Structure 1
Amino acid sequence: MPRSDRPRLTVLAGPTAVGKGTVAAYIREHHPEVWLSISATTRPPRPGEIDGVHYFFVSDEAFDAMVARGEMLEWAVVHGRAKYGTPRGPVDAALAAGRPTLLEIDLQGARQVRESAPDAFFVFLSPPSWDELVRRLVGRGTESAEERRARLSTARVELASVTEFDATIVNDDVQRAAEELVSWMRSTPDGKQR
């Protein structure tokens, strides 16, 4: 397949609680042609999360071994606590098979991917407002007050990185945001639809 016809890697990043996982879940359900990467993490599962579906939940030792073997496309310590990373092999295999490929990752990871895959397409998912972002984080009820403070502090810095991205999507409606993202994924580097 000529290089110009091959789907490019798309990276979705944005601040905590902006809804990256919710947008990715919508795409998983409504666009089975899109391959979504599953990240590895050292944090414990949240209620309802399934190992191998939402994340690969691994120990610190197993994660460090994957990094040492060069098996991570990107990885980072997020919010000063848990490690998150994208296993490289499945991403390479999906792209080689010609599947549109989406990474839903944090800002640190997106910056690493930009270094190793500069031809990827980078999309920033933005909240409609700061107050809405705070409401979503508090409403999740999955973090302690201390964790929320750390995540909101990080979010302020992450919001300032919007200019590093190729496109911005405001997540004011999950379906609309997801469909806009898939539309971007279907476009070629010159902006034309495939």
Structure 2
Amino acid sequence: MTSSLNRPARLNRALLALAGLTLLAAGGYALAAYGDKLPWVDSGDRLTPGTAAPPSWVLALIAIAAVVIGLGCLRWVAAQLRRVPKAVPWELSGPEAAGRTTLSSAVAARAVAADIEGYPEVGSVSAVLSGPGRAPELHVIVTASAGADLTDLRRRILGEAVPRLRSALAVGVIPVTMEFRLADNGIALQ
């Protein structure tokens, strides 16, 4: 459930692991070369064979690699900005219905967020409904006051707000992911 809320997490972990392994391999290679453990490398040799400028094709290759890496980094940053699934229109009427009823998942999410914000110990709520209309998933981030009983607040959300949402959407089950944040000290609990 949380993977749909944080889509780029798996890619981030994979890229960070790849970068870490590459840096570890390069560092190990440099240490092995420095310690004369590699027979094809002499630790007394200079790093570059001479003081002459490299050929122009090497500089062009470095510039192209820098541009590709820079664009990849920009793409990575852009993926971080789209952490939450987009709102989608749901068709609530069945195929045998005479008319057509649609509802944006963002409207339903705002309604459940407003419902939870009405609780006295809650400061703010961010809610997202993802998935298809007949099998939605609710993702809620609740900022509560520092003295709030989070267990009671969780129980109240699952016992009051979520059943009202299920009733409004006419679905039997809505999987819920909740994250609690305390307003005063910034601690986040999931």
**Shorter-chain TM-score category?**
under 0.3
TM-score if structure 1 supplies the norm length?
0.22
Asked which structure has the greater RCO (Cα within 8 Å, sep 6+), the reply is: 1
Which structure has the larger Rg? 2
